[in-house]
A and B are shown apart, each in its own frame.
Chain A
Amino acid sequence: MKKWPETWKEYNTGGIVFEPGNARSFKTGPWRSLRPVWDNSKCIKCGVCYIFCPEGCVQEGPDGFFAADLDYCKGCGICAHECWPSAISMIEEGQES
């Protein structure tokens, strides 16, 4: 799938998007400069990070702990801000956790 129409002639009338759920193909991860990192020793599995993530990219794993899908996480830091046991820290992209 092309990311953008090549010319104005390929622009759908009214900009209508006919493919449901196509936001999935628009990966917003590269916008990120900070990355959330979970310290599971502090995590109480409350799910506040999952609830507050505006991108809906925080998911619960099979072990009950949470992680962000880095294809979509914009690094906004809301999860870290809301996490009351302070289990999430935002670290600079490119740095080791």
Chain B
Amino acid sequence: MTKPVGMEVAVAAAEAVALCNIDVAACYPITPNTHIAEHLADIIADGRIDAEYITVESEHSALSAVMGASGTGARTFTATSSQGLMYMHEILPITPAMRLPVVMGLGNRAVSGPINIWNDHSDIIMQRDSGWLSIFADNGQEAVDMFIQAFKIAEHPDVLLPINVNMDGFQLTHVVEPIVFPTQAQVNKFLPPYKPFASLHPDHPLSMGTLGLPEIYTEAVKARDVATVNAKKVIVQIWQEWEKQFGRKYEPVMTYKTAGAEILILTMGSMGETAEVAVDALRKKGVKVGLLKLKLWRPFPFDEIRKAVRGAKTLVVTDRALSYGGPGGPVCSEIRAALYDQPNRPEIVNYIIGLGGRDVRVEDFMKMIEGAPKAKKSGDAYQIYGVRE
């Protein structure tokens, strides 16, 4: 294993993508994913990898271009954030419908308005039902690892679905972290060449992206849903392979100091590391608290959530986005759905935190955990934490 190097996470993400021997990339730069797009363009322009970088005029075209390339059997990558992801919206659901294993890097950023370039999860949450697989990194090392895993997951013959790797904008993309890079030989061992199920070639004519009349659309949806649900098994298996080869563990729901915990707090993304420090501090004070970190957003790990909360009296769910006029934070509404039928389930408190780059510190997590009984008593389905009243 090589030594850790200090590197900006967005740059490291581009280096990880380069290690995966991609064939085609098309990115339109947008804060805070810009450095992924820029650095990958450098790598390709410098001839470090044998790939094409298509410069496009929009994100709509970026995703369209990589889908066309993916249809020919190329390994493809794109990256974006926030408004750029919104601009891709029309194309996003077509990628999984065509079962094209495109990998996307997302530097998560708040969606306008008001105009805001800073971090929360409102961009990916708005695209939740597009049918992409979705995983979340806590730190730079996880981002690098997940990009390499992502190609293997997406291209697995039992999956063949696109996947996005989520990195919190600025909080991850723009910080310099120590990162251990696998060698090219190690990546080659882990990630086999992409063998497409079918590809566009003049010698073997076929049609992709065809019309689905009412007589077939329902069956198409069912087939795609089954593939998405079944992808979880492959993701878990590939994460186990990763752990075996590289020693770093990944699970749909990661646990931190949950043994004997009466109260659990759940995070998704980079704030998990801040919450760890809060859990450490509270454990020292004798509070029986543990942390759950959601790594897999789609397909949602219902069974793993049920198992992880077993025995807890209170579950504090943090969300980085809000469904206006809905049941609360989007992560929490999935968790409520997962636990509704359970005979013994914890009381749930939902905080909406860290919107549009609002800082959430260790003390805030401690306050959220300690204030959970009071928040529960209020009867509110969710609370926007830290809002000035």
Contact = CB atoms under 8 A, between A and B. Distances in A.
Interface of A: 3-5, 7-11, 13-18, 20
Interface residues of B, number: 22
A4 B208 contact: no
Given A16-B207, A17-B206, A20-B206, A11 B220 contact: yes
A15 B220 contact: yes
A16 B206 contact: yes
B3 interface: no
Contacts of A8: 218-220, 222-223, 226
A14 B226 CA distance: 13
A16 B223 contact: no
Contacts of A5: 216, 219
A15 B197 contact: no
B309 interface: no
Contacts of A15: 97-98, 208-210, 212, 216, 220
B352 interface: no
B41 to A, nearest CB: 29
Q: Count chain B CB atoms within 10 A of each CB in A13, A15, A16, A17 and give the residue with the most.
A: A15
B88 interface: no
Given A8-B222, A8-B226, A17 B215 contact: no
A20 B100 CA distance: 20
A18 B198 contact: yes
Closest A-B pairs by Cβ, 6 of them: A14-B99, A8-B222, A8-B219, A20-B205, A17-B207, A11-B223
A14 B219 contact: no
Contacts of B215: 3-4
Contacts of A4: 215-216, 219
Contacts of B197: 13-14, 16
A28 to B, nearest CB: 11
B292 interface: no
B206 A14 contact: no
19 contacts: A4-B215, A4-B216, A5-B216, A5-B219, A8-B222, A8-B223, A9-B223, A11-B220, A11-B222, A11-B223, A13-B99, A14-B98, A15-B97, A15-B98, A16-B197, A16-B210, A17-B207, A20-B205, A20-B206
Nearest to A21: B205
A10 B218 CA distance: 12
Interface in B314-349: none
A11 B216 contact: yes
